[in-house]
Structure 1
Amino acid sequence: MGMGTLGRIIEVLTGESYHRALRTRILQPLGLNATADAEELLLRSTAVGHTVDSATGNTAPVSRLRAWPENGPAGSRLWLDIDALIAFGRMHIDGTAPDGRRILSPWTLHEMREPQFDDYWGCFPMYANYGLGWAIVRQGDAPVLAHGGANLGMHSTLYVLPEQQAVLAVLTNSTTGFQLYSSLCSRLLQEHFDVHSPAPAYAPHSTVEVDNDLFTGVYRSPNGQVDVDVRDGRLYLRTTPAPSLTAWDRLNGRTPGECQALPLVCIDSQQRRFSMDLGQAGGFAAVQFYDPDANGCPTLVRVGTLYERTR
């Protein structure tokens, strides 16, 4: 929603459609082999996404080229090759095009690398914080920036290390691409730049007693619904994805799993932080409640993304 709003702001300020502004102000000055037009895309050398059956290893082309094509400013629309992705990353080192033309001001570059969250605990396990548009893998004088992407049967990632003047990019065209680029990039970043992704620390090493009834309720967002209730004296959380996310799984050849209620353990009552045992999936996930009302009941919960209490 936020990126879509930004796309509309661009149209109002420039007097151009979002895609024209993208082409004339970014793609053309950088000389990128990139397009937001699917018809133009088909005239180029195009990789097709593939699904991978986790049980047999068999692969198959996806049933559609892309998902939700109208969602331009928020992604799923820009197509580019590896050279273009690297060139885009290089622009974020000093804000200039190859011919020296300035695309981003020094102030903009600074703001994009500046952590935007005072409390970032549990948003994304691989990152230390988030700037404007960039995930921040490492903060400080030698920041490391990252951004991932996905479409049907495709995964990509981009890392920018401004101080080292280095860019790392990977494009894949299968549903298993995330595992490939995660492992590959993690090793390259460690071996060549001594960069380590922050380790998640969500396991319940200590337990804090809380009033369970304060947290129970139904929370909703465009991503779906979260139900929190009490069972045998313990809090449980169940996430039900929105139909659009379930459709995404099916388009990628995955069968949506059953929505199971998972146990919560409070590890910080002051900041309302909980650890959620993922059970058979393995490991733990961060859950945090926010903005209590007059009765002390939180009005928001973050389980990867924010959900608002409805009852």
Structure 2
Amino acid sequence: MTTPQEDLLPGTRRALLRRIALAQAEGRAPSLVAAVARDGRAVWHGARTSVEGHGPDEHVQYRVGSITKTFTAVLVLRLRDEGALDLGDPLEKHLPGTGAGEATIADLLAHTSGLAAESPAPWWERTPGSLRPELADVLGEQPLLHPVGRRFHYSNPGYTVLGALVEKLRGEPWEEVLRGDVLEPLGLDRTSARPRAPHAGGWAVHPWADVLLPEPTEDLGRMAPAGQLWSTTGDLARFAVFLARGDDRVLSAETVREMRTPAAPAEASDVLDGSAYGLGLQIRRQDGRLLVGHSGSLPGFLANLTISVEDDVAAVVLANCTSGPQLSDVGADLVRIVADAEPRIPDPWRPMSEVDASTLEVAGPWYWGTYAFAVRLSADEGVSLEPLSGSGRRSRFTANGDGTWTGREGYYAGELLKAVRRADGTVSHLDLGSFVFTRRPYDEEASAPGGVDPEGWRGIG
């Protein structure tokens, strides 16, 4: 029987091991563990440690910090999909009296709520959660630092509020809802709010000497939905597969795609480094790849989860030190190593199982003015519109069941595409958000706004 370690070529496995060995040695981490998932399952696990003869495996827990936020976001999106809330709902509708009630659920998920980055002193990551028993203790007397919805400002209290929202609407503690709604369906039995053996201890490494200091491990209390979880590379590799593909027991593929879509306005620095934030997921472009996932840190621990959906490769990296290795770079490198050394083999082309004749009728070239586009039908993508040259507007569309389609992405997201028919039932032109697409440039037989010069096309002489 083939083991996961044998799913990658020896040269690829050695390159992965070398990368985490460099990260552990140069970052001076007491231990560092990593996993790679491809084609929907884990295919590699590696570990480096300062303790001779002890190599943590994929079942050893590490604290994962803000990767917890992605789990909390999944719970909120489940509530939305069930109809318990709308992302446009103001917080006040569900949790009145917080002082941040004008922020929407989407604002909280995307860190555009205007809330502070941290809770009031003392430093919440190194003090017991019992010091902040109520939401008011987490949010402080003036919760909002910025206008709601205007800028991205990462907020740990914002995800505490989302955890409280989950508890209010579910009628159970956040931890119990997480277990029943996400962890058990996905088989993440080594992910928990409190450490369960075997687990790593958290350490601070002196910046100028090779000596260690143990870090305290605090129960974060109310702040738990922002950073409490402990997990393993094995569990997080399975979670990464879910975030790339969806799982109808938890969230559909369409909803996890929504999580991976930028939702926060980019600031100047974000534009320069190619980063953005979705609904509980960080998004960045690195070395030409679009990567999604989340990083995490708490005193004593660092964590990173990185996914390239296009390559169908994900990486998880965990370390038990407060600072040191740049795990976001390590995660991106692990994805790159696998994707470049062993590129994804495309699935076999297969024809569509069925197609409606009226839909097939709109396939082919169309012109928006003089710009050439094509409507394509495919088994994988459904209906798509794309320019025939250059990098113009493109989008995929979802059928509405009435002969119209709604854009799923890009410029035409949410816009209605419909075929306008003549009296005899043949297609005259396409209407896309009021834009007219014709079979010929400025087709005089179609309803081109402004009309077409009766003398037609001509040269200059």
Match of 1:59 in 2: 212
How is 1:246-257 mapped onto 2 (pairs within 5 angstroms)? Answer: none
Matched, 1:50 2:203: yes
SS in 1 for 2:224: coil
Q: Secondary structure at the match of 1:6?
A: helix
Q: What's the offset of the Cα at 1:159?
A: 0.7
Distance 1:124 1:83 in 2: 33
Match of 2:305 among 133, 138, 158: 158
Of the structure 1 ranges 106-115 and 127-136, higher mean CA displacement relative to structure 2 is found in: 106-115
Structure 2 residue corresponding to 1:185, chosen from 331, 334, 343: 331
Structure label with greater radius of gyration: 2
User: Partners of 2:203 and 2:321 in 1: how far apart?
Assistant: 4
RMSD: 2.6
In structure 2, do the counterparts of structure 1 residues 110 and 187 end up closer, same or farther at CA, with 3 Å as the change threshold?
Answer: closer
Q: Write the letter of the residue equivalent to 1:83.
A: G
Aligned-residue offset at 1:108: 1.6
Describe how 1:208-247 pairs up with structure 2 within 5 A.
none
* TM-score, with structure 1 as normaliser: 0.53
- For residues 31-180 of structure 1, what are the structure 2 equivalents within 5 Å? 31-38=187-194, 41-42=195-196, 44-62=197-215, 64-66=216-218, 68-75=220-227, 77-96=228-247, 101-123=248-270, 127-138=274-285, 143-179=290-326
Q: Identify the match of residue 179 of structure 2 among 23, 32, 38.
A: 23
Give the letter for the 2:198 counterpart.
Answer: S
Q: Secondary structure at the match of 2:226?
A: coil
Aligned CA distance change for structure 1 residues 190 and 82 (closer, same or farther; 3 Å): closer
Question: How far, CA to CA, are the matches of 2:321 and 2:298 in structure 1?
Answer: 10
Contact 2:260 2:281 in 1 (8 A): yes
Structure 1 pair 125–80 and aligned structure 2 pair: CA distance change class (3 A): farther
User: Percent identity of the aligned residues?
Assistant: 31
SS at match of 1:8: helix
What is the letter of the counterpart of residue 136 of structure 1? I
In structure 2, relative to structure 1, the CA distance for the partners of 1:190 and 1:163 (3 Å cut) is: closer
Amino acid in the other structure paired with 1:162: V
Greater percentage in strand = 1
User: Following the alignment from structure 2 to structure 1, what is the Cα–Cα distance between the partners of residues 325 and 219?
Assistant: 18
Asked if the contact 1:144–1:162 (Cα under 8 Å) also holds between the matched residues in 2, the reply is yes
Q: Deviations over 1:250-274 (max 9, x none)?
A: xxxxxxxxxxxxxxxxxxxxxxxxx
What are the superposed Cα offsets for residues 121-174 of structure 1, whole Å, 9 maximum, x if unpaired? 2259755211111111139xx742020111221000001222222210001001
Q: Which amino acid aligns with 1:144?
A: L
Q: What secondary structure, in the 3-state scheme, does the structure 2 residue paired with 1:146 have?
A: strand
Q: In the aligned structure 2, how far is the partner of 1:116 from the partner of 1:6?
A: 16
Q: TM-score, normalised by structure 2?
A: 0.37
Residues 192 and 126 of structure 1: CA distance in aligned 2, closer, same or farther (over 3 Å) = farther
Give 3-state SS (helix, strand or coil) of 1:148's partner: strand
Unaligned 5+ segments in structure 2 are 1-156, 341-461
Q: Does 1:7 align with 2:159?
A: no
Gap change, CA 1:183 and 1:115, over 3 Å in 2: closer
What is the deviation of 1:54?
A: 1.1
Residues 204 and 213, structure 2, Cα contact 8 Å, conserved in 1: yes
Where 1:122 maps in the other structure, the secondary structure is helix
Label 1:80 to 1:119 Cα distance change in 2 as closer, same or farther (>3 A).
Answer: closer
| Residue aligning to 1:201 | none
CA distance in 1 between partners of 2:221 and 2:336 (Å): 36
Which stretch shifts more, 184-193 or 107-116?
184-193
- C-alpha change, 1:120 and 1:192, in structure 2 (3 Å) is farther
d(CA) in 2 for partners of 1:80, 1:124:
32
Aligned equivalents of 1:118 and 1:124: distance in 2?
A: 10
Contact 1:120 1:128 in 2 (8 A): no
- CA 1:149–1:124: 2 relative to 1, 3 Å: farther
Distance in 1 of aligned mates of 2:205 and 2:262: 36
Query: Following the alignment from structure 1 to structure 2, what is the Cα–Cα distance between the partners of residues 149 and 126?
Result: 19
The one-character-per-residue Cα deviations of 1:60-104 (angstroms, maximum 9, x if unpaired) are: 322x123634311111x11111101111111111111xxxx5311
Gaps in structure 1 of 5+ consecutive residues = 195-311
Cα–Cα, structure 1 residues 10 and 67, in superposed 2: closer, same or farther, change >3 Å? closer
The structural deviation recorded for 1:177 is 4.2
